[in-house]
Amino acid sequence: MSRIEEFKKFIKRKKIFQPSPTIYESIAGFYEYGPFGIMIKNKLVNVMRSEFQKYQFWEVEFPLIMPPKVWEASGHLERFVDKITTCQKCNNIYRIDKLIEENYPDLKLLEMSDQGLKKFLEENEIICPKCKTRLTDVGDYNLMIEVGVAGRQAFLRPETATTTYLAFKDYYSLFRNQMPIKIYQFGKAYRNEITARQGLIRTREFEQFEGQIFILKEQEHPFEEFQHVKDIKLPFWSSDAQVHGKEPELYSLEETIDKKILQKEAFAYCFAVAYDLLARIELDLNKLRLRQHLPDERAHYAHDAWDLEVETEQFGWVEICGIHDRGDYDLGRHQKFSKTSLEVKNSKGEKEVPQILEIAFGVGRLMYCLIEQKFTIRDGKNLLLLPKEISPVQCAVFPLMNKDGLGDIAAKINRALVINGIASVLDLKGSIGKRYARMDEIGTPYCFTVDYQSKKDETVTIRDRDDTSQIRVPISDIPSIVRDKFLKSS
């Protein structure tokens, strides 16, 4: 069986994530995480928090539900829409672009009116893939999920970003009127995808981790902090290179500015924030590219937009992060719709609406890419080579036999570990080989084995997941040994 087939079985067997609920019919695009899965995700999010804090971002949290006015201002009510056609016979809904992209790849759908689309469907005799009825209906499908709150219309947020923007004035006064201001938010968002697919890649409920830099125009270039990160190298694939059929090329951030691939140092700095996180979680940087949006796929307000993509075995290139220069669009719109001034003064004393630079990660996608990459088969057995700080369980304790007092010693060691805040499990069942294999499969970095020598000299063996090496250590030192190892790995 191939690695990827084994991997899919592993996800299922260990309940890392799965469609939810499992005992009733589920709605596509909603997932639950089992005990190991949520541990991995939580630890990944903790690493993300610590990386963004390193770049001096502050965290905020906002409600998932917001009134229509917010989405009117953000543009989501009007523009967050797919063109659909509904089969008049079987009631199936299709995205028109997906339905016809294969046969008419050059068609500029975005430029067509509803009348034009209707005419196109009729003239080309487009039929329902399911029941073969001719399709003629054209409609709008908003991707936001509408909810009612005490009889009033509201929407589940389709992104965290918009909610982060709403309190800009508060950040400005809290941080004593000093710009730039860096804020991130982690939390759920919802999109009513017409077809949810590809596991965690396109879900209707998902988690985002989005950093926003509120900045004055004059601060964007030059940008002081850029000096610390300018030598970081990444594979950039500009829209120009894509159009000319060229491959991504490795450039330092300084070179991207010199070659005018990126226009502003503050924007280039956003790529460093993303890069540092990926390097820390040991994502294979050879399977990474930064793809610039082509002019016609860019949001209407965006000055520049790039997708950070990871090559996966199961789904090909997957976007895990968007890096966007949103200009003053967002705060400008919220200023207009809320009739609240969101302007601040620049160094010349002139008022301006701040610019926003965004680093937007999808947490589920990032987690998927990481575990797919780190899933390995060693000597015919599964091994999850996650970075040690992200492994769901930090260590395990086994007695060689569960008799002659060995089990009691193991239980004592395990207790010493857990009361010291270390995620440890005690496993008494099965052969030692099978117990190691169970721990390797979920990526447990260290296993302690209590044997007969332990009774004589109060030592145990510690086995390292990565190279399976074993050494003897004194039982009394175990909590501090584990703490040291995890400090070194992070």
CA–CA separation, 4 and 479 (whole Å): 36
Stretch that binds Zn ion, among 130-138, 187-195, 346-354, 441-449 (CB under 5 A): 130-138
Contact window for Zn ion (CB under 5 A) among 97-105, 125-133, 158-166, 476-484: 125-133
Closer Cβ to Zn ion, 87 or 342, answer by number? 87
Over the window 185 to 224, marking each residue x when it contacts Zn ion by CB under 5 A and - when it does not, the resulting string is ----------------------------------------
Q: How far is the CB of 41 from Zn ion (least distance, A)?
A: 39
Q: Which stretch binds Zn ion (CB under 5 A): 29-37, 129-137, 301-309, 374-382?
A: 129-137
Cβ-contact 52, 211 below 8 angstroms? yes
Stretch that binds Zn ion, among 82-90, 110-118, 410-418, 430-438 (CB under 5 A): 82-90
Measure the CA–CA gap between 290 and 150, rounded to whole angstroms: 44
Give the range of 6-14, 45-53, 80-88, 286-294 binding Zn ion by CB under 5 A: 80-88
Strands 233-237 and 249-252: antiparallel
Q: Which of residues 85 and 454 has its CB atom nearest to Zn ion in the complex?
A: 85
Write down the least CB distance from residue 94 to Zn ion, Å: 9
Q: Between 95 and 287, name the residue whose CB sits nearer to Zn ion.
A: 95
Q: Which helix (H) or strand (E) holds 211?
A: strand 205-215
If one asks whether residue 126 binds Zn ion (CB under 5 A), the answer comes out as: no
Residues in region 330-359 near Zn ion by CB under 5 A: none
When the beta carbons of 128 and 288 are compared against Zn ion, the nearer one is 128
Q: Quick one: which segment of 61-69, 89-97, 267-275, 414-422 binds Zn ion (CB under 5 A)?
A: 89-97
- Within its chain, how far is the Cα of 128 from the centroid? 35
Q: Which of 69, 130, 246, 434 touches Zn ion (CB under 5 A)?
A: 130
| Chain position carrying tokens 């030692």 | 432
* Minimum distance, C-beta of residue 93 to Zn ion, in the bound complex (Å): 10
- Which among 127-135, 164-172, 414-422, 480-488 is the span making contact with Zn ion, rule CB under 5 A? 127-135
β-pairing, 146-149 with 424-426? unpaired
At closest approach, how far in Å is the CB of 131 from Zn ion? 3
Query: Is 87 one of the binding residues for Zn ion (CB under 5 A)?
Result: yes
Residue 131 makes contact with Zn ion by CB under 5 A: yes
Q: Does 134 bind Zn ion (CB under 5 A)?
A: no
Q: Does 135 bind Zn ion (CB under 5 A)?
A: no
**Residue nearer to Zn ion on the CB measure, 139 or 248:** 139
Structural tokens at position 71: 């989405």
Q: Which is nearer to Zn ion, 103 or 286 (CB)?
A: 103
Q: Is 90 in the site for Zn ion (CB under 5 A)?
A: yes
Distance CA 410, CA 432 (A): 13
Residue 84 touching Zn ion (CB under 5 A): no
CB–CB of 210/164 below 8 Å? yes
CB 206 within 8 A of CB 30: no
DSSP β-bridge partners for residue 356: 214, 327
Q: Own/partner pairs for 365-369, CB < 8 Å, 24+ apart?
A: 365/200, 365/201, 365/206, 365/318, 365/319, 365/320, 366/44, 366/320, 366/321, 367/40, 367/41, 367/44, 367/200, 368/199, 368/200, 368/201, 368/312, 368/318, 369/283, 369/310, 369/312, 369/318, 369/320
What's the closest the beta carbon of residue 202 comes to Zn ion, in angstroms?
23
* Residues in binding contact with Zn ion, number by CB under 5 A: 7
Q: Which residues within the stretch 161-190 sit at the binding site for Zn ion (CB under 5 A)?
A: none
In the complex, least distance from residue 330 CB atom to Zn ion, rounded to whole angstroms: 40
What is the DSSP-derived secondary structure letter of residue 129?
A: T
Q: Which stretch binds Zn ion (CB under 5 A): 44-52, 85-93, 175-183, 444-452?
A: 85-93
CA 453 centroid distance within chain? 47
Per CB under 5 A, contacts with Zn ion among 254-283 are none
Q: Which residue has the tokens 């009134």?
A: 67
For Zn ion, which residue of 128, 154, 257, 383 counts as binding (CB under 5 A)?
128
Given the complex with Zn ion, which of 86 and 338 has the nearer CB atom? 86
b vs e for 204-219, b when ≥16 Cβ sit within 10 Å of the residue's Cβ?
bbbbbbbbbbbbbeeb
Distance in angstroms (rounded) separating the CA atoms of residues 111 and 118: 13
Give least dist CB 90 to Zn ion, A: 3
C-beta closer to Zn ion: residue 13 or 89: 89
| DSSP string for residues in 310-350 | EEETTTEEEEEEEEEEEETHHHHHHHHHHT----EE-TTS-
Contact stretch for Zn ion (CB under 5 A) within 26-34, 122-130, 176-184, 373-381: 122-130
Task: Retrieve residue 359's tokens.
Answer: 């680093």
Q: Whole-number minimum distance, CB 85 to Zn ion, in Å?
A: 10
CB 486 within 8 A of CB 478: no
The DSSP secondary structure of 147-183, one letter per residue, reads: EEETTEEEEE-S-SHHHHHTTHHHHHHHTTT-S-EEE
The overall longest dimension of the chain from CA atoms, in Å, is 88
The binding site for Zn ion (CB under 5 A) comprises 87, 89-90, 128, 130-131, 133
